[in-house]
Chains A and B, each alone.
Chain A
Amino acid sequence: MWPLLSCLFMGWALGANDAANVFGTAVTVGVVRFRTAAFVGAIAVLAGAVLEGAAGINTIGNISQQTAASAGIIALAAALSVSVMTILHFPVSTSQAVVGAIAGAGVMQGVASFQGMEKLVICWVVTPIGAAMVSLLLFWMIGRPLSRMPISILTRDRWLWNGVVVAGAYGAYALGANNVANVTGVFVGAGVMTPMVGALAGGSAIALGMITFGKGVMTTVGSGLVRLDAFTALVVILSEALTVHTFAMIGVPVSATQAVVGAVLGVGWAHGNQSVRIDLLGKILAAWVGTPAVSFLVAAGVHAILS
């Protein structure tokens, strides 16, 4: 029972953290109420997980063969690592945490296999870069025609904020499709559940996290970071959703948070802000290396204690 609980805890934490990426700006500004955002987001996450989550689940499930107990250790280690990295304010990726934990548990079991991981690592690096390029592209594709339209500021803002809500729903769908593999992928690989049950259980856990704890994270993001205007918010959320959805179709779980950071950098460049924030890039690089490393060590430690 505890392995399943740790997997659901992981999904809950993921939903609570990533809700802010897709609906944080709209809720903070007051365009949409938290209840509405959470309800729409939960349904979209579940739909994404069930309709398009199988590819990622298979990728994670096929990295290594696990038992129910070792799958539980991996989920617990990944959840603990995500919590630690979140406390340290790193743009943490549950995908990296899960893969690091799989490697850690594999080493302790003596069945470590790093085959297929290079594809995941390449995709992690590509995620923020790809999101930045998509946001640059969207900035001009949406911005150019919008600036030529003879419209009032009220119409413009209404269109953009409605777009932000729709993009948020799409982002939640992409999140469910991509990240459900992090929650139940190892359990499907261990034969504890079928891919469909895994998608349903994982999607439900993420949705529950979004509904029960998403508000606090959204408020923190809204008050702690720079508030985005409607156009920037639309470009950032849409870029993040497109990037994460693309990787979901390929079957590689990636970080929605790192995609958002990349998209914000892209919009900054489009605005003519050529300076690169070294501290932000340093944090991404540290998260790329640190998250799987911490997760690796925690999984190895938990495995050693429990066995």
Chain B
Amino acid sequence: LLYQITVPSNFSEDYAALAQLSVAAGMDTVAAARTLFSNYKNALPLAEVVRRKEHEADNQEMSLLRRIFQSDLGLEKKMWLSEICRDISDIADRAEDTADRVMIIAAKRII
């Protein structure tokens, strides 16, 4: 709000896709954690889905960063946009960390 950053229109779809993927990873993590309290064995495939989504989000993040820094925008704008990109991707990273813990809790109990 303070800096009034606007995402250029040629990047807006990429940002939206990255945000959707990161949020989906977070929601899947919540679902995996909930499964621990109903049928813990089902938590493993859900946690695996989160890992795949995080990997995909990483790829999208790198691709977007590459495009930002290859564009004609000013350096300060590039820095701001890259920071926003990393912040959004962090959601997927944290989701993966949590999913890893869920996976360990479930795997320890599978005979």
A-contact 0/1 string along B25-44, CB 8 Å cutoff: 00000000000111111000
Q: CB distance B111 to A156 under 8 Å? A: no
Docked-complex contact A150 and B38, CB < 8 angstroms: yes
Binding site of B, secondary structure by majority: helix, strand, loop or mixed?
loop
> What chain B residues lie within 8 Å of A154 (beta carbons)?
37
CB <8 Å contact, A150 and B39? yes
Closest B-chain residue to A153, C-beta based? B40
Contacts A153-B40, A156-B40 supplied; 7 other A-B pairs, CB < 8 Å: A147-B111, A150-B38, A151-B40, A152-B36, A152-B38, A154-B37, A157-B109
Number of interface residues of A (CB under 8 A): 14
Q: How far apart sit A144 and B39, CA to CA, in the bound complex (Å)?
A: 15
The distance in angstroms between the C-alpha atoms of A157 and B110, with both chains bound, is 12
- What are the residues of chain B within 8 A of A150 when measuring CB–CB? 38-39, 41
B residues 9-49 near A (Cβ < 8 Å) are 36-41
> A residues near B, CB below 8 A?
139, 143-144, 146-147, 150-154, 156-157, 229, 231
Contacting pair A146 B111 (CB below 8 A): yes
Number of B interface residues in the complex (CB < 8 A): 12
Question: B37: shortest Cβ distance to chain A, in Å?
Answer: 4
Write out the residue numbers on chain B whose beta carbons fall within 8 Å of the beta carbon of A151.
39-40
Q: Mark B47-85, 1 if CB is under 8 A from A, else 0.
A: 000000000000000000000000000000000000000
Chain A interface mostly helix, strand, loop or mixed?
helix
B105 at the interface (CB under 8 A from A): yes
Question: Closest residue to A140 on the B side, CB-wise?
Answer: B111
Q: How far is the CA of A156 from the CA of B38 in the complex (A)?
A: 11
List 23 A–B pairs whose Cβ atoms lie within 8 Å, in order of A's numbering. A143-B111, A144-B111, A147-B41, A147-B111, A150-B38, A150-B39, A151-B39, A151-B40, A152-B36, A152-B37, A152-B38, A152-B40, A153-B36, A153-B37, A153-B40, A153-B109, A154-B37, A156-B40, A157-B109, A229-B108, A229-B109, A231-B109, A231-B111
